[in-house]
Chain A
């Protein structure tokens, strides 16, 4: 982890989230305090249903918190309108999904170009920059392949390219290796680590794949809507050997 400024990229204080109302209400987050620094790769780990995905959804601005405060790069997402938040996400957030979520009808380079097109970059420029990004994730020779013609690892690398092509300041990854075998998972994390965790960018990775814990700068363990423990890289490596 590089040295960073005092202002964290993500600052969550007493964040709660309740789904539903009354007797059927489910408390997904019960007061989360979490800071994530720029250039940091933070992993959120814990059992299913512990609130990891809810937390990154709030950090990424695609879900409202119920209470507490959450600032991302100093911006209070709760104070923004839905339209403002959409614009904010468009510029500041890159997503890597567990199921890749690539458009099956688009080629690899077209998939990577999507965030640029959303940001209004002309198509030809977008495709050129997307091609460069594909080269950075090691898929220069698969530019015109459809997702169905790519392996799982290659698809996830395309997804990483798509998450980074517009140079967002925050990248959120949901179980990026759970659909991949051990070796491919490590290759994907290598790429993510090398390409994403640079340029003052913050990375949040949700996972329960213990094999990739050693890629983290810090690991926040969650259980029942709370963060129970935050350990730094060295401790994480000791706890879970690669």
Chain B
């Protein structure tokens, strides 16, 4: 009976391709919307991932996201270093500063100050120059990726900042000594790296300037134990990279409405995809109702018919899903290569697969109701 079911499914090529295409479209829609949402969520944690040499971040408990500025006292570093299991604890400055390019173009930057001695917390890839160049006089590193978008001199030469260019950081001179490559970030301001001491010179004077303390746990020590001890000793919030990423993503997604908007888009994708896939399969079954009636008359039981319909639904679901994932991945590759938010971790296709299988199961169930209700005597109606 399985061969009959599959022949029924694939016999009419146009309907068959329509079914697979409908489900592929639904899969692609779900994948695309979900991946964009995940992409945005991931981009919110770009800075934290770029600074991933540390295991833990010490911060003020009021910090809501990675670019939030709630400094802590500088003496906290000494407290942290005294906690058993701490390999090293280093300062990290981070703050928004106004800048002005040589041609007068004004911009706002996120200035990051790395520990002068170790330069820990630097971005993972240095594109031009070496990290040690940061120790040169007035040296800063700017992002090499898409400079035309973030650090473009629009009023003069209409060119991006380059190595050797000087610009003003909070009315003090900075020299571009190198470039780095970082992850695509949700935040649009350019991130400029310098040393911790120079960052304090550039930044407006404050009572406390230390944004974060980066902590590395000694090998063989339990991360959670050290984390709890740091919290106890400093009285501040201590977060792992993943916890800080989640905190940031939750805050950004919720306060900006991205979660609601893209959640709706994902829901819409599931709904439209469901309607397309479900309706197409339901119509396919209705088109074949007469044949199911004939089979019923000839002695095919309801359980055999159920097996046939489920086999058909499962076949188009798996095929359509496969095609949809392929198309979705291709579209994602194109979108991501343009620097747009698109990320497809394993759970996105798994979610889409669950959604598509559920939709097809629902459509099959609705179809089966019609098949079960069908009186075999219908076959004698002309």
Contacts and interface: CB of A to CB of B under 8 A. Distances in A.
A12 interface: no
Nearest to B12: A105
Nearest to A62: B376
B300 A118 contact: yes
Given A57-B377, A63-B375, A99 B299 contact: no
A95 interface: yes
Interface in B268-325: 290-291, 294-301, 304
Given A106-B7, A117-B1, A174-B380, A86 B291 contact: no
Contact of B299 (A90, A98, A174): A90
A123 B3 CA distance: 9
B4 A103 contact: yes
B380 A103 contact: no
A142 to B, nearest CB: 17
A95 B4 contact: no
B7 A101 contact: no
Nearest to B381: A53
B19 to A, nearest CB: 14
A63 B300 CA distance: 15
Interface in A65-105: 83, 86-91, 93, 95, 97-99, 101, 103-105
A83 B296 CA distance: 11
Contact of B380 (A57, A90, A110, A119): A57
A56 interface: yes
B11 interface: yes
A145 B299 CA distance: 25
Contacts of A217: none
A86 B11 contact: no
A101 B375 CA distance: 15
A95 B297 contact: yes
B3 to A, nearest CB: 6
Nearest to B294: A101
A106 B3 CA distance: 10
B301 A86 contact: yes
A95 B304 CA distance: 19
Choose among B8, B11, B296, B382 the residue with the greatest number of A CB atoms under 10 Å from its CB: B382
A225 interface: no
Contacts of A60: 297
Contact of A114 (B11, B290, B295, B296): B295
B379 interface: yes
Choose among B298, B300, B304, B375 the residue with the greatest number of A CB atoms under 10 Å from its CB: B298
A110 B4 CA distance: 9
B379 A101 contact: yes
Interface string B25-61: 0000000000000000000000000000000000000
Contact of A101 (B1, B290, B304): B290
A53 B380 CA distance: 7
A5 B296 CA distance: 31
B297 A89 contact: yes
27 contacts: A53-B381, A57-B380, A63-B375, A63-B376, A86-B296, A87-B301, A89-B298, A90-B298, A90-B299, A93-B298, A101-B291, A101-B379, A103-B7, A103-B8, A103-B11, A103-B291, A105-B7, A105-B11, A106-B11, A110-B7, A115-B298, A117-B1, A118-B1, A118-B299, A118-B300, A119-B299, A174-B380
Given A57-B377, A89-B299, A93-B299, 4 more contacts: A63-B376, A90-B300, A105-B10, A118-B1
